[in-house]
Amino acid sequence: MSGIEQITRIARDIEGYLKAVRKKSGKRMIGVMHPVVPQEIIYAAGLHPIRLFPLIREPITLAQSHLHTYTSSIFRAIWDQTLKGVYSFLDGVVLPESCETVTFFARGWQWHRPGDFVTAIAGSRFKKTENAIDFFAKEIRSLSLAMDEFSGTKTSNGKFQEAVQVFNRNRELLRMVYELRKNDIPPLSGSETFDLCMASFVMDKEENNRLLDQIIGELNARKKGTKPKARLMVSGPCLVDRSFFEAVESSGAMIVADDTNTGSRSFWHTVVENGEPFASLARSYSTVPCPFTTSAEDRLRYISNMAKDFKVDGIIFSVEKWCESEKMDFPYLQKEIATRLGLPVTLVETEYLGDLAPIRTRVEGLVESISK
């Protein structure tokens, strides 16, 4: 079986993969929300960190009595499936202080799952001052102490450095895959890249590194396909549905770049190795361009650089319904991208298990305008 086939199989059955890993390794698993949580801390404590997102496609039922319907449907789906036992392999969660739904749900999680490890972590906000970085470093240190207490270990500096090296290598390999998407005819589609990223968020990092090495070799040897009608970039929060990428690319266009929590935001940074671990992690993770930690001006710089590097013809802002931090940035970003880059921009609103037909129509209109 090729590496690409292996990664696709894992991405299509994440629940089955994690249950098998838990049974084989015996490692306890800790879920994290958003790419701003330094998973190296969890890994160094001998635990298995995984990113949380809905694992199955079924309606939200149980969570409706716990969370308002005007909050993130992705988080409601995660909590719904947690209540239903889908995350039976999960031993705890680290929630960042991000949107209000996630920030204030730690107590709710503790109340309904008292056996879980539950904690929250605050990061640096818009001003990346030395004081802000120092505060974030102290938060990471507190997380490390809590992880040690939960795991019954004492994490050494050597373990921290080993974790940083493993994760840096993982981020480097993912960026190498993205580099191949700069080709006039990218060797993998946006939906294939989505599978690759989603699998990397749950796999053991060393196992994933070996598989990514293999996949990069396979992609370099792939026969060229058809040049896409348009090269598109997607910007948005947690895009967790492969069908969205398939709907966009059914227009004949190809997603060649992204600015999403389930894409480049998670691995575009590198942690300085052999430095003081908490300070190094804080400085690196403070650069993750999520809208609740990054100014609109800095986001514009990140998006503009990526759009130029990947020779993008247009940008789709896919904003989850009720994700106010993303929505507040959009008018400014739309105006500046049109003025500075001259790129067409379209906004689509997504929701867990939402209707993709309107999105497909909007994308077809964008691609048609680009093709003229």
How many other CB atoms are there within 10 angstroms of residue 156's CB atom? 10
345 and 309 in a single domain? The answer is yes
Averaged confidence pLDDT in the chain:
93
Amino acid at 342: G
147 and 192 in a single domain? The answer is no
248 and 365 in a single domain? The answer is yes
64 and 104 in a single domain? The answer is yes
* Closest to 35 (Cα-Cα) out of 156, 145, 171: 171
Angle, CA 263 vertex, CA 278 and CA 218 arms, to 5°:
110
The percentage of residues in the chain with a pLDDT greater than 70, rounded to a whole number, is 100
* Residue 96 exposure: Cα atoms within 13 Å on the Cβ side: 22
336 and 280 in a single domain? The answer is yes
110 and 228 in a single domain? The answer is no
274 and 262 in a single domain? The answer is yes
What domain range is 313 assigned to? 159-371
pLDDT at 101 over 80: no
What is the number of H-type helices and E-type strands within the chain?
15, 8
Show Cβ contacts of residue 263 under 8 Å, excluding neighbours closer than 6 positions. Answer: 193, 194, 197, 234, 239
How many other CB atoms are there within 10 angstroms of residue 366's CB atom? 23
279 and 341 in a single domain? The answer is yes
Domain boundary (126, 155, 184) is at 155
* Closest to 277 (Cα-Cα) out of 71, 121, 137, 69: 137
Domain boundary (121, 155, 189) is at 155
273 and 290 in a single domain? The answer is yes
CATH of the domain at 257: 3.40.50.11900
* Strand order through the sheet with 117-121: 48-51, 29-32, 90-96, 117-121
The pLDDT assigned to 17 comes to 95
Number of domains, the chain: 2
pLDDT at 372 over 90: no
Q: What phi and psi, each to the nearest 5 degrees, are found at residue 256?
A: -110, -10
127 and 217 in a single domain? The answer is no
Domain boundary (155, 170, 203) is at 155
Q: What confidence tens digit (pLDDT) does each residue in 60-78 have?
A: 999 988 888 888 899 999 9
Answer whether 116's CB lies under 8 Å from 95's CB: no
176 and 99 in a single domain? The answer is no
Amino acid at 372: K
110-131 average pLDDT score: 88
Q: At what angle do helices 277-285 and 130-151 cross, to 10 degrees?
A: 120
CATH of the domain at 94: 3.40.50.11890
Q: Is the model's pTM score more than 0.85?
A: yes
270 and 193 in a single domain? The answer is yes
Answer whether 238's CB lies under 8 Å from 260's CB: yes
The pLDDT assigned to 243 comes to 93
The pLDDT assigned to 324 comes to 78
Q: How far apart are CA 222 and CA 296, in angstroms?
A: 38
Q: Residue 275 — pLDDT band, cuts 50, 70, 90?
A: confident
